[in-house]
Amino acid sequence: MPTGWAVAASLALVACGCAMKESKVAIGQTPQAVRDTIQRELVGAELEDIARKRVNGQTVYETDVIRDGHKWEVVIREDGAILSKLQEEATEPDATRSKPGHPGPAWRDRFDVNKADLLPTGTNTYITMQPGRVLKLKSGIDTLTITILPDTQVIDGITTGVLEERETRNGMLIEISRNFFATDRTTGDVYYFGEDVDNYKDGKVISHESAWRAGTGGARFGLMIPATPSVGQAFYQEIAPKIAMDRVEVLSTSATVKTPAGTFERCVHLRETTPLESDVSHKYYAPGIGLIKDDEFELAERPQMDR
């Protein structure tokens, strides 16, 4: 932890214009210690950009983040120490959709719920947690099969239901994940408490990368999907620092989507990102059905019980 005079000196160096060179970098191009600090700062915030600078012979990373509608400049040393953290101009305070020239939305990462109301089953129209429901999505010969299992799992004191995803590529199993969801019986909102992951290669489990559980290692439960989504909502689904930090923004609640299983109206369109990577994913949920499109995967047939 730098002393007061050291922080003041560092601020003076950054402010005086002594930086010799500046270049924009992605989070993956920063040293591990810097990356860890940035990821901690990004919990509940949006990354705007990172600039690498040379200031009086030392390299620093000037990171701009948006938190609760305000822009913060965080200057980080190569060893991960924070040299300064200053609030800059205010931005839009509400979680509205990003527009050109404006920063991203304020991501909600805290959810005030009565845990006694959380159940392993539920009737949310977009994720109906009823054992036996199966969705089959395809992309060419690749498949994504989603099944609500009869199992339950106690996580962070909550009995959750289990949604299993099986993904194949070129006819080979590549991943099985067991996602732990709980539905609020008073609101119908579905909350995400973690997942167990088996990653496969040549028919054998090779890792459990991306697995996490609320209440372990600083992880907390997130909001998977509200009962009544509205355009502009932005929230974290997964809150497991350095492991899984998926977050979504509701872009539409009236999308029309055509899949091999048919055309669906009044669909919810979610844009999914994470501060851990630069990837962007798009998902569509149809009322009464569930997930019908996940990037290249599309619903191949209507669920048997919904025909």
Structure tokens at 248: 């979504």
* DSSP secondary structure code for residue 98 in this structure: P
**Spans of the chain, pLDDT less than 70:** 1-21, 56, 68-69, 87-104, 304-307
Q: Which residue in 218, 282, 291, 219 sits closest to 252, CA to CA?
A: 282
Q: Residue-wise over 56-85: b if at least 16 C-beta within 10 A, else e? A: eeeebbbbbbbbeebbbbbbbbeebbbbbe
pLDDT score recorded for residue 93? 30
Q: What is the pLDDT of residues 275-301, one digit of tens each?
A: 888 889 999 999 999 999 999 999 999
Q: What is the pLDDT of residue 68?
A: 66
pLDDT, residue 87, reads: 65
As given in the structure block, the two tokens for residue 300 are 């191949």
- In angstroms, the CA 97 to CA 251 distance is 7
The single-letter DSSP state of residue 233 is -
What is the token pair recorded at 214? 């609320």
Q: Kindly report the pTM of this predicted structure.
A: 0.68
Domain ranges of the chain: 4-90, 115-306
pLDDT of 208 reads 94
The answer to whether 291 touches 268, Cβ cutoff 8 Å, is no
Q: Which CATH class is domain 4-90?
A: alpha beta
Q: Is 234 exposed, middle or buried (0-12, 13-18, 19+ CB in 10 A)?
A: buried
pLDDT of 111-160, one tens digit each?
999 999 999 999 999 999 999 999 999 999 999 999 999 999 999 999 99
Three-state DSSP class for 40? helix
* pLDDT score at 2: 40
pLDDT of residue 104: 61
Look at residue 40 in the predicted model and tell me its pLDDT. Answer: 85
Residue with tokens 């270049």: 23
